[in-house]
Amino acid sequence: MPSLNSLLKELGAVDVGTVDESEVRELIKKYEEAGKPVIYKVKGSDVRVASALYSTRKAVHKALNSENDVDAYKKLIEAKKGQLIETEFNFVKLKDLDDLPWVKFYPKDGGKYHTASIYISCYEGKCNASFHRTMKLDSRRCAVRLVPRHLFTLHKKAIEKGEELPVAVVIGAPSEVEFASALSLPFGVFELEVAAGIAGSLEVARTPIYGLPVPRNSAVVIEGRLTKERVKEGPFVDLLHTYDKVREEPVLEVDAVYWNPTEPLHLILPGGREHQFLMGYPREASIWDSVRKVVPEVHKVRLTPGGGMWLHAVISITKASDGDAKNALLAAFAGHPSLKHAIVVDEDVDPDDLEQVEWAIATRFQAKDDLIVINNARGSSLDPSSNGLTSKVGIDATRPIKERDKFERVY
C-alpha cells in the first residue's frame, strides 16, 4: 500500500506553505473541488498538514491500491486479519496539545477540532480503532464525540468498574488504517488487524505509557484516558452540512503528545467530499456486497453527494426477473441501515449521471407498482428530519423484462 507521502506525490498534492487558521476551510474546499490534495502548515504550529486526500474516486482507488470500485470494495469487505509487525516507538515528544494545529471550521462550531482522529483502545481482551471527532478544551484536555458503538462500549465497561479507559489517538494514519477504521466490523474484530489484511501487513509500535499498538507511520499520537467527566461537545457541522446538536460527552485527559515529522497530519473538512468518501465508500462496499447476493449482476453502486454519501443510493443492475429490483432495494437497506432513499435502475442508466437517473424515474417508474415504503425503521442520527425512526423509500425505476424495447433510451 502507498504511504501517505507517496500517495500525496502520486495525486499531485500542492504545497501552499503556511496559512492562517481562518483560511483552512476555504483552502480545503478549493482543493477538494479541484480533486487534488493540499499540504500546508497552520500558523503557530510546525506540524505539516494534508487535506483533500480522498476527495475523488481515483484517489480512493490509489489509496487502496485498486484498479476500480469492485476491486476496492472486495479489499474492504473481504479483508482478513493480517499480521501486525511490532517495531520501536520512534516519535518526538511534544509539550502538549498547543503544539498541534487545531481548527474552528464554521462560525457556530463549539470549539477547535481535529477531524481525522482515530481512537485506539484495548480493554478486557477487546481492541478497537475508530474515528471520533475531538474538540480541544485546553492544553491537556479534549471533549470526544462517542457515538454508541464499540469505543463507547469499552468506555462504559471501564467506567462501570470505576476505571478510566486508556486510549491512543492517532491523527494522520496510513490509508489502510483510515479505511479500516471507517468500517462497521463485529465487536472484538480489531481494525488494525483488518488494515494489515488490506495492506498485507502493518507495522505497529507500542505507546510508552499504556502499551497500545499504533501504526508506526503515523503523524501524531496522543496518549490519554477517557474519563467519567462529561462536558458539552459541539455544535459541529456533519456530513449533511447541518449542525449536529450539543451533547454531554466524555473528557480525554492527555498524558503525552508525540509527533513523527516525516508524516503529514490529516485534517478533514467537515461535510466535505473527503469526509463523505471516508464515511460513505465503505458503505457503498457493503451495499454492493448485499445486493450482489440477490441479483445476477450489479454494475454500479453510488451513495450520492446530495445525501452526504450516506442517506441516498442509486444502484444499477441487470435483472433476470421482474422481482430483482425489489430484492435489490431490500438488500441495499439491509447492507447500509442508515440508508433512507434508494433507487434501482437498469444497466443502460448511469448512476453517476443524475439526469439519467431522473429520466429513469420519469419513464420507468409508477408509484402504485414500483414504490416501497418502510415506516418506523431505525434512521440515521445525522438526519435532522428523523427523531430516531424514519421512513425508508425504495424506487424501482427499471423496465419490465418482457417490454424492454418499449423503454429503449434513444439518446
What phi, psi does 282 have (nearest 5°)? -60, -30
CA 100 – CA 137 distance, rounded (Å): 13
Q: Hunting for cell 503523524 — which residue is that?
A: 219
Cell numbers standing for residue 341:
432513499
Q: Determine whether 136 is exposed, middle or buried from the number of CB atoms within 10 Å of its CB (0-12, 13-18, 19+).
A: buried
**Residue 138 belongs to what H/E stretch?**
strand 134-138
User: Burial letters for 177-201: b for 16+ Cβ neighbours within 10 Å, e otherwise?
Assistant: bbbbbbbebeeeebbbbbbbbbbee
What phi, psi does 9 have (nearest 5°)? -65, -45
| Whether residue 305 has a cis bond before it, omega within 30° of 0 | no
Q: Mapping DSSP to helix (H, G, I), strand (E, B) and coil, where does residue 396 land?
A: strand
Measuring CA to CA, how many Å separate 117 from each of 162, 167, 172, 359, 411? 26, 12, 8, 41, 47
Q: Given the residues 15, 109, 238, 289, select the one marked as catalytic.
A: 238
Contact 131, 182 (CB under 8 A): yes
Q: Identify whether 238 is a catalytic site residue.
A: yes
Contact 324, 335 (CB under 8 A): no
Phi-psi map region of 241: left, alpha, beta (phi>0 left; psi -120 to 50 alpha)? left
Could you list the active site residues? 238
